[in-house]
Amino acid sequence: MIDLYTWSTPNGRKVSIMLEECGLAYAAHPVDISKDEQFKPDFLKIAPNNRIPAIIDRDNGLSLFESGAILLYLAEKTGKFLSKEPKAHWHTVQWLMWQMGGAGPMIGQVHFFVKNNPGKAPFAEERFMKETRRLYGVLDRRLAESAYVAGDYSIADMSIWPWVSRFDWHKIDLNEFPNVKRWYVAIAARPAVQRGYHVPVKQPAIPMPV
């Protein structure tokens, strides 16, 4: 049994989707970041960086924060969604790190500057929007040659997809990135993704491109 501390955000959904994909038993504990619950002392004991998601594995008492580390842990624990074949393994880790170090932080800044604070910092809006479009181009070219980012569907796809699901927030028209669109729609159709998306709070439907 896994305790998952999470909220309805891209980083949280990576983990709820992985737990659903693996069929692991878990209990979701909402940490409402709009009410600053990520700063509560009990949460800080398992997530000292005051960010969701975090987990505790009741099987062994291990507690973990950082979504990329959690995905790697769950993949290792279950033997799923991270190939043991060296080339596929490292390509999966590579694309996971691309998401953790690039796509997530850059798209997050677009949400902060362009969506939530428009007009306050035009240079930042331009910089992060340009970088986000560049990253979508990189992803689109990769998905032109492969169904999923690292061969088979993997934790790398699970890390990227929840960020792309906010395409509307970061003003990206998926029709400009047809391979990303095809990949996004295919993953959105997965039953585990449809369940994991609504953890911990039921949302309106998964956004779909027109």
Ligand X SMILES: N[C@@H](CCC(=O)N[C@@H](CS)C(=O)NCC(=O)O)C(=O)O
Q: Which residues bind ligand X (CB under 6 A)?
A: 9-11, 33, 38, 50-53, 66-68
Dihedral, CA of residue 106, residue 191, residue 156 and residue 27, to nearest 10: 80
Q: How far is the CB of 52 from ligand X (least distance, A)?
A: 4
Query: By C-beta, is 51 or 142 nearer to ligand X?
Result: 51
Place of tokens 């769950």: 74
Q: How far is the CB of 143 from ligand X (least distance, A)?
A: 22
Residues paired with residue 3 on neighbouring β-strands, in sequence order: 27, 56
Q: How far is the CB of 176 from ligand X (least distance, A)?
A: 25
Dihedral sign for Cα 24, 79, 182, 178, please: positive
Query: By C-beta, is 104 or 181 nearer to ligand X?
Result: 104
Query: By C-beta, is 68 or 196 nearer to ligand X?
Result: 68
Q: How far is the CB of 108 from ligand X (least distance, A)?
A: 7
Q: Which residues contact 98 (CB under 8 A, 6 or more apart)?
A: 138, 156, 160
Q: How far is the CB of 145 from ligand X (least distance, A)?
A: 27
Return the closest-CA partner of residue 137 out of 112, 108, 102.
102
Backbone angles phi, psi at 147, to 5 degrees: -65, -40
Query: By C-beta, is 11 or 154 nearer to ligand X?
Result: 11
Return the closest-CA partner of residue 159 out of 112, 83, 92, 91.
92
Query: By C-beta, is 32 or 176 nearer to ligand X?
Result: 32
